[in-house]
């Protein structure tokens, strides 16, 4: 008979359930870990070939959600519940019920309170300058053209326009995110967090927050999984829509940003779709719109016509 430790290892090893039908089955006090469920029928609900970019990771969370669901609620499949749980770890903090665009995603929570306060001080300081754009976008604090173009449309008297000041703060955070995204590989062991902050001119408190959200600490440096990379890209795209899209979060053209990120329209569209943002490709532009209340994509259902 295998030892207890061996049984435990066998129970938690990755498994795949394929083309499986579960009918009239009671599961009690059971933990499901590292299990992929594909083409499975659960309570008369068929889930077929479902893709959730790269963030459908936690089946354990899905099973926890299943156990806590109201008795008799059979409207949601296992995959739908898993998508809801993992969405919370992939997307920024969000309010699914609000009808106000600026409240759908809380940028202050995205950046962290300390980082938000630091960026608030920067915007307050430059807003009183005669040429606040030059003061903000100096040689040391380089801004990509996609952000400069957006800032050019804001009020020249930033201290008198609270809405434009708020959006400028979002664009400053976006600048830090883009710099982090471009240079993150250096954190794999070549640079410490402090050295990285100095090199990129991203404040220490912002670097700390970005590492917390988008990296895993390793013995030497930090690691970035495919899921975390996709999460990072989505947050960047979403920040652009929130900052450049006005009160209705409707962005006329984000093609410059996609070029700077070396991101194709299809990938950007799939990522933003997970956040409730619709992307449309025109002849010479790529527009995006955040609609409220937020509507997230559900799993694809198979079966076809009978």
98 backbone φψ class: left, alpha, beta (φ>0; ψ -120 to 50) = beta
Q: pTM for this structure? A: 0.74
What is the separation of C-alpha 2 from the centre of its chain, rounded to a whole number of angstroms? 43
Give the helix ranges, DSSP H, for 129-251: 132-136, 145-151, 162-183, 193-200, 204-214, 226-244
| 302, part of any domain | no
| 301, part of any domain | no
pLDDT interval class at 76 (50, 70, 90) = low
Higher pLDDT, residue 61 or 126: 126
Q: pLDDT for 244-270, tens place per residue?
A: 998 899 999 999 999 999 999 999 999
Same domain, 147 and 258: yes
Same domain, 31 and 169: no
| 297, part of any domain | no
Same domain, 80 and 154: no
């Amino acid at each position: 008979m295998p030892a207890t430790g061996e049984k435990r290892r066998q129970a938690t090893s990755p498994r795949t359930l394929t083309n499986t039908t579960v009918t009239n089955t009671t599961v009690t006090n059971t933990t499901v870990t590292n299990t992929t469920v594909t083409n499975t029928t659960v309570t008369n609900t068929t889930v077929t070939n479902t893709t959730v970019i790269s963030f459908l990771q936690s089946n354990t969370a899905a099973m926890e959600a299943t156990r806590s669901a109201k008795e008799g609620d059979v409207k949601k499949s296992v995959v739908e519940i898993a998508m809801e749980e993992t969405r919370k770890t992939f997307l920024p903090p969000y309010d699914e019920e609000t009808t106000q665009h600026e409240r759908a995603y809380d940028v202050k929570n995205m950046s962290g309170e300390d980082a938000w306060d630091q960026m608030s001080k920067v915007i307050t300081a430059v807003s009183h300058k005669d040429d606040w754009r030059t003061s903000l976008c100096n040689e040391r604090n380089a801004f990509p053209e996609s952000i400069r173009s957006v800032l050019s449309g804001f009020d020249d008297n930033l201290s008198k326009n609270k809405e434009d000041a708020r959006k400028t703060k979002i664009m400053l955070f976006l600048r830090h995110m883009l710099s982090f995204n471009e240079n993150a590989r250096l954190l794999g062991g070549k640079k410490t967090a402090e050295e990285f902050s100095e090199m990129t001119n991203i404040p220490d408190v912002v670097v700390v927050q970005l590492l917390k959200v988008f990296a895993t600490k390793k013995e030497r440096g930090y690691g970035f999984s495919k899921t975390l990379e996709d999460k990072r890209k989505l947050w960047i795209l979403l920040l652009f829509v929130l900052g450049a899209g006005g009160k209705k979060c409707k962005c006329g053209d984000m093609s410059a940003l996609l070029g700077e990120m070396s991101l194709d329209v299809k990938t950007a569209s799939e990522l933003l779709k997970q956040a409730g943002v619709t992307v449309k490709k025109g002849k010479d532009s790529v527009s995006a719109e955040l609609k409220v209340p937020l509507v997230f994509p559900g799993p694809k259902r198979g079966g076809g016509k009978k």
